[in-house]
Structure 1
Amino acid sequence: MKHRKATACLRQAAWALAPILLTAASFGARAQEVVKIGFTGPLSGGQAAYGTDNRDGLLLAVKELNAKGGVQVGSKKVKFEVDAQDDAADPRQGVAVAQKLADEKVKYVIGPYNSGVAIPAGRVYNEAGMLLLTVASNPKVTELGYPRLFRVGVNDAQVGIAMAVYAAKEMKAKNVAVVDDRTAYGQGLVQEFVAEAKRQGLNVVKQEFTTDKATDFTPILTSIRSAKPDAVFFGGYSSQGGPMLRQMVSLGISAKLLGGDGICTTETSRLSGNVADGKVFCTQAGVILGKADAGRAFAAKYKAAYQRDPLTYAVSFYDAAMLLADAMQKTGSTDPGKLAEALAKGSYQGVAGEYSFTDKHDLKSSPVSVYGFKNGQPEALSSF
């Protein structure tokens, strides 16, 4: 009899405790949140090496954040997942990717890589109320005036100007030819280079254009050869810059090949048939990784994770994820609008430099480094 009464009492106690246990379980579930970060970049096509590099920089940051248990945002812990999408460096596909991420209710996106994608896709991200952190360099990207769009790399003006100054003052060039790939990136870069080249007293002896899908540059290079330039500035990417250099050499053009961050990669050397040493000079954003402890540590972590060296913007995508997590922690919020307000007013020290923004949401201070090539690898020469 006593046993039955004891059992009944235990059942009553269990039922009484059940709501408390359920409430505690529910609180535990609410206390941790998984947040998706969208990624958009060229994971296929001629620029896939860049897209993969960028994505993996982002993934490395997310892995580190999650390994620490996530980020404390107000009363809850936040962990991260990456929703990686391939925009193939194509504006139409980039817009489709933007709509897909918007439909999936992703609140934050790191990318696009290409200005030609960022400009049309930016409208979709803006209308969906999403926060966008991009390295797209055409000045028009931030001139769109979207309140939740920030550029986390340099713009074309900074990259083009630095290369023109270096060509005039260090290389002592007199005559230059220019070629652009007809993308928003390539055209913007050439425009800025030409303007500064003229201010520096350089003669622009030839202006040509190609496309970002071209493989044969013989006609334009033959035309350039007759102008006998000291250097050829190319506004475009390694997928064209490497083959262009190979064809320059075969045509007997001794001019140096200059460019921006789009050709500042081992891909340029590989696609040129390994003739880039002493022939290619390029500019890209940020500090020289090998000259700072944080940069060396990042490069070592990246290589350990992926068995290859980082290319141009892996560090910027890594920093962008850390910047986003830092803003969440400081504001105690995951609301894109509140995070954008915090980014606009605040400052964050990343691996590649300091992230504080102008009224247009460009970086206030972004060093630009000039590189040559040695043993097929970009080698830092100087910084501006």
Structure 2
Amino acid sequence: MRKRNSFIFITAMILAITWTTIAGASEIVIGFTGPLSGPAAEYGQDCVTGVDLAIRDINGSGGITVGGKNYTFRLEKMDDRVDPTLATNNARKLRNELKAIAIFNPNAQTMTKLMAINWEKGNEYIIMGFTSIPQLAQLGNNYLITMAAPFTMYAKVYADIAWQNRWKKAAMLVTANIYGDTWRKSFENEWLKKGGVITYSAGTDYYKRTDFAGPLAKALATNPDCMLIGGPTATTTLIIEQARAQGYEGGFILIDQAKLDAIHPAMRKPLLLEGSIGLAFIKDVNYPAKSAFTENYKATFKRPVSWESIAHYASMHALARAIAASGTPDNAKAIRAAFPAAFPMLGDKYPMELFGIQANGTLLYPVLTQSMKYGKITPPKVYIWWAKTQQEYDALMKITKASFPQLWLPMGN
């Protein structure tokens, strides 16, 4: 009996080892390097949990089929605290040791460092970059996917709405980094084209500073009708409250990093947001699949849904579809070339809609805006910004699953 039991035990162990080997050989590793500790940790968690949930859902549905073989995904996440050197070291480990074929990164400061090494011959990998800085997509990196609409489109839309509000004089006080600097330049170009005046323009440290009395005093001394502001949620909230405390009664234009639906509940007096223009509230942009996604996300991570988590969830699904279409789990060039086959991804299955990808790697989804006017949040305005012709726009409207209006924003205007 002991010999028989020993035989069964050994056989079971061999089968377990064999199965583990097979399962390991059938995994595709996806990397993430981003801020998981420090001041930007909440932002990093919003991003990585979106990827995590997408992988859980894909694996729970049986994975993907690539070249006739079944694969599942494994997420390897590493903290870089927005440190470019640490992010580079993480990326090398994720690629060289863990064999990640794609690495998600949500910060332009670290992304540029990853872009310097992701094309090394024989060691190429896809960067899934969450940035709205359009200049990064224009640098010619053949393995970069940018997962956010370019902020130049937001600058155009926000300037249009502000001008309709009869604001003429704008002051700018945004986060002091390459993202904030290029945002200021983009908005200034749009504002001046309309005949508006920039009364003040400066960056300030939204990551370390909490008292903005000094820079606000300088900006408000120019008597602006509106202010372009923004950075992380907590400090953007402080700037709004401190500006109102100094007697400012004008409007606020929030750059796309600063989310209205995160700032609104953080305000001690939400009515202080009167006249604000920003990214739309998630609750007001209702695709058919969003409700189920929201319930699943909250139940899994015990945290509220954000646009970052939604974008990373959808983009991970797009990556999985591209890998399946490419016929290879480990050839970055083939996977990148297969991305157009992943689309469209519509709102009956995903919490947002992705309509395609530009040649430079920018994913195509609408610009979503909302305002507070007379103490109430206005209905969202949703813009299709990449359609070059009326016919292209009409074709998109025929396939969308959205029940809300989507406006055409011709890029040439």
TM over 0.5: yes
Contact 1:177-1:204 within 8 A present in 2 as well? yes
Larger radius of gyration: 1
Q: Give the conservation status (yes or no) of the 8 Å contact 1:40–1:87.
A: yes
Q: Deviations over 1:237-278 (max 9, x none)?
A: 324311111211221112222112211154434554343543
Over 3 Å counting, the alpha-carbon distance change for 1:89 and 1:132 in structure 2 is same
Q: What fraction of aligned residue pairs are identical, expressed as a percent?
A: 22
Distance 1:192 1:279 in 2: 21
Measured against aligned partners, the alpha-carbon deviations of 1:144-192 in whole angstroms (never above 9, x if no partner) come to 21111111211121122221122112x3222111113222221122221
Could you tell me whether the CA contact under 8 Å between 1:233 and 1:258 is conserved in 2? yes
Q: Deviations over 1:64-108 (max 9, x none)?
A: 111112112223211111111222233333333223323324333
* 1:372 matched residue in structure 2: 371
- Partner residue of 2:138? 143
Counterpart of 2:242 in structure 1 is 247
Counterpart mapping for 1:144-163 below 5 A: 144-163=139-158
Instruction: Pick one of 328, 333, 336 that aligns with 1:337.
Output: 333
Equivalent-residue separation in structure 1 for 2:20 and 2:36 (angstroms): 39
**What is the aligned partner in structure 2 of residue 356 from structure 1?**
356
Q: Which ranges in structure 1 are unaligned for 5 or more consecutive residues? A: 1-17
Distance 1:282 1:101, change over 3 A: same
**Structure 1 partner of 2:228:** 233
The one-letter amino acid paired with 1:362 is T
Amino acid at match of 2:334: K
SS at 2:176's partner residue? coil
Q: How does 1:105-116 map to 2 (within 5 A)?
A: 105-116=98-109
Q: Which runs of 5+ in 2 are unaligned?
A: 1-10, 384-413
Q: Which moved more, 1:263-272 or 1:80-89?
A: 263-272
Is the 2:318–2:342 Cα contact (8 Å) retained in structure 1?
no
2:41 aligns with 48
1:344, distance to aligned residue in structure 2 (A): 5.0
Whole-angstrom CA distance in 2 between matches of 1:140 and 1:284: 24
Asked if 1:92 corresponds to 2:85, the answer is yes
Output one character per residue of 1:217-243: Cα deviation in whole Å (capped at 9) or x when no partner. 111100111111121102423243111
CA RMSD of aligned residues (A): 3.0
Q: Over residues 21-76 of structure 1, what are the superposed CA-to-partner deviations in whole Å (9 max), with x where a residue is unaligned?
A: 99xx6899279612211112222233222211111111111111111121122232
Cα distance in 2 between the residues matched to 1:189 and 1:235: 10
- Contact kept in structure 1, 2:169 and 2:198, CA below 8 Å: yes
Which letter does structure 2 place at the counterpart of 1:62?
A: I
Residue of structure 2 in register with 1:326 after alignment: 321
1:125 match: secondary structure:
coil
Shift in Å at residue 345 of structure 1? 6.3
2:181 counterpart SS class: helix
1:75 corresponds to which of 68, 77, 80: 68
Question: Structure 1 residues 117 and 30 mapped into 2: Cα distance closer, same or farther (>3 Å)?
Answer: closer
Distance 1:377 1:70 in 2: 44
Shift of 1:133: 1.4
Q: In 2, distance between residues paired with 1:260 and 1:281?
A: 9
Matched pairs, number: 359
Confirm or deny: 8 A CA contact 2:44 2:106 kept in the other structure: yes
Please say if residues 36 and 107 of structure 1, whose CA atoms lie closer than 8 Å, have aligned partners that are also in contact. Answer: yes
Q: Aligned equivalents of 2:95 and 2:133: distance in 1?
A: 24
Q: Distance in 2 between matches of 1:360 and 1:288?
A: 31
Work out whether residues 31 and 76 of structure 1, in 8 Å CA contact, stay in contact via their aligned partners in 2. Answer: no
Find out whether 1:188 has 2:152 as its counterpart: no
Q: 1:186 to 1:377 in 2, by over 3 A?
A: farther
Tell me, in whole angstroms, the C-alpha distance in 1 between the residues paired with 2:321 and 2:52. Answer: 16
Q: Which residue in 2 is equivalent to 1:14?
A: none
Counterpart in the other structure of 2:50: 57
Letter matched to residue 359 of structure 1: A
The range that moved more, 334-343 or 44-53, is 44-53
Give the conservation status (yes or no) of the 8 Å contact 1:62–1:321.
yes
Corresponding letter in the other structure for 2:358 = T
**Shift in CA distance, 330/39, structure 1 to aligned 2, threshold 3 Å:** same
Tell me, in whole angstroms, the C-alpha distance in 1 between the residues paired with 2:380 and 2:319: 32
